[in-house]
């Protein structure tokens, strides 16, 4: 029965869509009412109708919305172009029209329930000094079964293939969950003397060794046998979707878990949104709406990727124990040579605690000391490592200089 939960959820969303459409139509009519006519009543009704229209999830990637970037004293137009693609992901290039030559960088986005657009702020900052590409993952619910499986090895394989498209000695920055695959890809490429092996690898808030100061997320992953996760969290994609009958860890289930961790905060945010809308405080309302437009844009994970990540990264700790395999080959971080390695952690990170990312430095025994950088950012949680003021003003300058020195 649990495997049909996704189908039931989709059916419910489809059945209630007319209500949201009706509320949207009513809101358009209400906005035509002249000001001064029972403004208080109209404001309350308009606020309620807008909240109804927003009571849904979307499974479509939001736009990045990066149209230009300032480089020195010049502003350059940004054009998004897909330079390589598979059914499961695109290598998206943020090309600067007539821009200067800069270090080529692959930004590796996590596959953890949201789209890569969650990193738009990170991208915009990196674009100042780098030629940026991103792993733009596709939603499995839109990928037909005929395209096969996508597991942890496939994720790592995509990184190797994507780096190969960037040419000799690009740079790679991995955010959170993909740090394990990024380190594995770098090790394999160095062992093979691949021409596109990274010149630098930066791992930010990544679970390299989750045995170190386990967080609640880590403890949950180890609290139950693997079979429990397969039975209780894996569902079939609904028949209405292109990827019908593909087994996935649904985005709405992940979102429910995220919301439940801070339920009171999310309730308060929506109450604040209602009040801002009612009072006509557009700027304050838009800030909340922008956040939740991204937050409620959810992406499924293939069942095999989710289960293998839980098993290999969080339960069996294969990488730090030296037992990780890629396509049957041993992953050997000691094979990494002539490459810069930077690790970044946040003091208040409750998802990936202090020491878990730093562990990569101990695994890469043949990286020279002068090519190593570790930074622990005071006063930030998980998201503050790669977004916000301290990322822009304190972390990014270190990363920029690290890449420059090792280019």
Q: In what order do the strands lie in the sheet with 89-96?
A: 68-71, 74-86, 89-96, 131-137, 104-108, 171-175, 200-204, 340-346, 372-377
User: Does residue 42 fall inside a structural domain?
Assistant: no
Report whether 351 contacts 205 (CB < 8 A). yes
Residue span of the structural domain in which 397 resides: 68-218+301-405
* C-beta atoms surrounding 55 within 10 Å: 14
34/38 Cα distance (integer angstroms): 9
Pick from 383, 366, 338, 333: which is nearest to 209 by CA?
Answer: 333
- End-to-end CA distance of the chain: give it in Å, rounded: 54
User: Does residue 265 fall inside a structural domain?
Assistant: no
132/109 Cα distance (integer angstroms): 12
322/332 Cα distance (integer angstroms): 7
Q: Which two tokens stand for residue 317?
A: 């700790």
User: Does residue 166 fall inside a structural domain?
Assistant: yes
Report whether 341 contacts 360 (CB < 8 A). yes
CATH number, domain containing residue 209: 3.40.50.1820
Report whether 341 contacts 359 (CB < 8 A). no
Report whether 201 contacts 339 (CB < 8 A). yes
Residue 253 confidence (pLDDT): 77
Q: Are strands 200-204 and 131-137 parallel, antiparallel or unpaired?
A: unpaired
Q: Running DSSP on this structure, what letter comes out for residue 140? A: G
Per-residue pLDDT of the chain (407 residues; tens, 9 = 90+): 456 777 776 666 666 566 555 545 654 655 655 555 445 555 555 545 454 455 556 778 889 999 999 998 999 999 999 999 999 999 999 999 988 999 999 999 999 888 999 999 999 999 999 999 999 999 999 999 999 999 999 999 999 999 999 999 999 999 999 999 999 999 999 999 999 999 999 999 999 999 999 998 899 899 999 999 999 899 999 999 999 999 999 887 776 666 565 667 756 765 766 676 677 777 776 676 666 667 677 899 999 999 999 999 999 999 999 999 999 999 999 999 999 999 999 999 999 999 999 999 999 999 999 999 999 999 999 999 999 999 999 999 999 999 999 98
User: Does residue 172 fall inside a structural domain?
Assistant: yes
Pick from 142, 135, 132, 141: which is nearest to 89 by CA?
Answer: 135
Residue 51 confidence (pLDDT): 45
Helix (H) or strand (E) holding 276: helix 263-279
The residues near 53 (Cβ < 8 Å, ≥ 6 apart) are 20, 23, 24, 27
Q: What string of DSSP letters covers 298-334?
A: B--EEHHHHHHHIIIIIIS-TTTTT--EETTEEP-GG
Q: What string of DSSP letters covers 335-389?
A: G--S-EEEEEEETT-SSS-TTTTTHHHHH-TTS-GGGEEEEEETT--TGGGTSSH
User: Does residue 293 fall inside a structural domain?
Assistant: no
List, in sequence order, every residue forming a beta bridge with 94; answer none if it has no partner: 80
Pick from 403, 397, 364: which is nearest to 106 by CA?
Answer: 403
- Say which residue the tokens 């509320």 belong to: 23
Cα 1 versus chain centre, distance: 30
User: Does residue 289 fall inside a structural domain?
Assistant: no
Residue 37 confidence (pLDDT): 47
The count of domains in the chain is 1
User: Does residue 243 fall inside a structural domain?
Assistant: no
User: Does residue 263 fall inside a structural domain?
Assistant: no
List, in sequence order, every residue forming a beta bridge with 171; answer none if it has no partner: 105, 200
């Amino acid at each position: 029965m649990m495997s049909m939960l996704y189908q039931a959820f989709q059916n419910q969303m489809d059945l209630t869509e007319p209500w949201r459409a009706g509320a949207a139509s009513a809101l358009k009519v209400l906005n035509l009412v002249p000001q001064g006519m029972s403004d208080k009543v109209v404001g309350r009704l308009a606020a309620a109708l807008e909240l109804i229209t927003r009571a849904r999830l979307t499974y479509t990637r939001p736009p990045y919305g990066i149209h230009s970037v300032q480089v020195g004293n010049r502003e350059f137009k940004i054009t998004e172009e897909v330079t390589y693609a598979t059914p499961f992901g695109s290598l998206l290039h943020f090309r600067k029209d007539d821009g200067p030559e800069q270090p080529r960088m692959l930004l590796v986005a996590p596959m953890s329930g949201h789209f890569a657009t969650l990193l738009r702020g990170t991208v915009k900052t990196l674009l100042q000094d780098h030629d940026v590409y991103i792993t733009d993952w596709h939603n499995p619910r839109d990928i037909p079964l005929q395209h096969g499986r996508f597991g942890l090895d496939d994720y790592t394989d995509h990184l190797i293939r994507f780096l190969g498209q960037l040419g000799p000695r690009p740079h790679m920055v991995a955010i959170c969950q993909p740090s394990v695959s990024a380190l594995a890809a770098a090790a394999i490429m160095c062992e093979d003397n691949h021409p596109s092996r990274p010149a630098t690898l930066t791992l930010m808030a990544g679970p390299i060794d989750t045995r170190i100061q386990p967080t609640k997320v880590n403890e949950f992953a180890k609290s139950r046998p693997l079979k429990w996760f397969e039975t209780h969290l894996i569902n079939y994609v609904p028949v209405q979707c292109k990827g019908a009958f593909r087994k996935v860890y649904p985005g709405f289930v992940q979102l429910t878990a995220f919301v439940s961790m801070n339920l009171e905060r999310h309730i308060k945010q929506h109450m604040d949104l209602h009040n801002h809308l009612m009072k006509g405080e557009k700027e304050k309302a838009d800030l909340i709406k922008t956040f939740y437009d991204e937050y409620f844009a959810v992406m499924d994970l293939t069942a095999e990727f989710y289960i293998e990540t839980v098993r290999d990264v969080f339960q069996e700790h294969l990488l730090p124990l030296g037992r990780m395999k890629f396509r049957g080959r041993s992953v050997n971080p000691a094979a990494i040579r002539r490459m810069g390695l930077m690790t970044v952690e946040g003091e208040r990170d409750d998802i990936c605690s202090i020491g878990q990312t730093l562990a990569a430095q101990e695994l890469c025994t043949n990286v020279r000391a002068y090519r190593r950088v570790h930074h622990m950012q005071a006063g930030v949680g998980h998201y503050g490592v790669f977004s916000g003021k301290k990322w822009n003003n304190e972390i990014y300058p270190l990363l920029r200089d690290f890449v420059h020195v090792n280019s």
